[in-house]
A = this chain, B = another copy of it.
């Protein structure tokens, strides 16, 4: 299937920041064949479908670099509570009642929301990850999946086995749309021995590690008490950063921590909304960027966000950075858009194939309607998108060369069915709560 997108304002996010105000994009199968002015479109290209992109921005699909998609069950459940009370009293008891197949529908709800807001790939960490993989396969989205790992306990070796099995069955699966990482949850839920077991597995499989890091002050204080080291220093001391690492949150860091992250090229998933909502704090992202650390954006789960919009995280990231530093010049619009696209792709280890619109890369593309009062008068589209952009302006979404949303309608997901199944699960698990 060949697709031609015509007459869009194309924001490539390539190394030269090329923009084509009247651009076109040619897609051959799952791959971008051409990006540029239509005059120079290769003559041999014959499209099966032509998408009229006039009045729209075309840009790389947004990357959600940290989420837990099956936690959509808990959206809007027990908000405005302290983190540990919320987990211990509300979330964990209910998670014990989850059946594996529930995770399929709960992930599908999250995938629907993500696609509708232009997210074309997400990095997940949770249980029942084979069910999430099936939802990824069926929906057409792209994902980097990891089994959430905690230990030692009676099931911790079993969990490692599940992460290995996930890799065996799904790494490179779904037409290459799925990759697998190893997912040690955090330093406060894994001991040093178990973290080393995770590192061994990642090394054997040749993949990276996805972990929560320095999310709360409590995490830092307990690490200092227990290990005499910050969480970042502690992970360095056990050689964790010798492997590729995707570190979610990174809210509470010392300057020395930041230097360590820079030294090992640790990838950061900044989750501004979740960090605010849980009262964790505000990450000093501009200080990370100054050190050359790569930063992507994550929503965390719908339980602590409560939605899964990377466009919204992008707006928050650009604004919060300025507010917390009291400096309007930091995190300019282009840098925020980069975090939401190419930076996120790099964070999840996939920037060779996605994150920008360039010939040879996979066709993960979003068309955004660009005709509403909040985009007037005409100005730099990147600025308008970052500071005024709305999820609902996402019109058409292509993943791996396939149209998964056309004019606001999902082509691969039956939304009514998803709502029905999710409400059924909620009634079963949460009853009259």
Contacts and interface: CB of A to CB of B under 8 A. Distances in A.
A48 interface: no
A307 interface: yes
Interface string A75-112: 11101111100100000000000000000000001101
A380 B75 CA distance: 10
Contact of A376 (B281, B330, B384, B419): B419
A1 interface: no
A378 interface: yes
A52 interface: no
B82 A329 contact: yes
A57 to B, nearest CB: 13
Interface residues of A, number: 69
A186 to B, nearest CB: 18
Contacts of A81: 328-329
A76 B388 contact: yes
Contacts of A316: 316, 319
A307 B387 contact: yes
A270 to B, nearest CB: 13
Contacts of A278: 322, 328
Nearest to A410: B373
Interface in A275-318: 275-282, 302, 305-309, 316
A83 B328 contact: yes
Contact of A282 (B75, B323, B392): B323
Given A110-B373, A316-B319, A377-B425, 20 more contacts: A75-B377, A75-B388, A76-B377, A76-B387, A79-B332, A80-B333, A109-B377, A112-B373, A217-B326, A277-B322, A279-B322, A280-B326, A281-B326, A306-B374, A373-B418, A377-B423, A377-B426, A378-B426, A390-B392, A392-B393
19 contacts: A75-B379, A76-B377, A76-B383, A76-B384, A79-B333, A81-B329, A109-B373, A113-B374, A116-B373, A217-B326, A275-B323, A277-B328, A280-B326, A309-B374, A373-B415, A373-B418, A376-B423, A390-B391, A392-B392
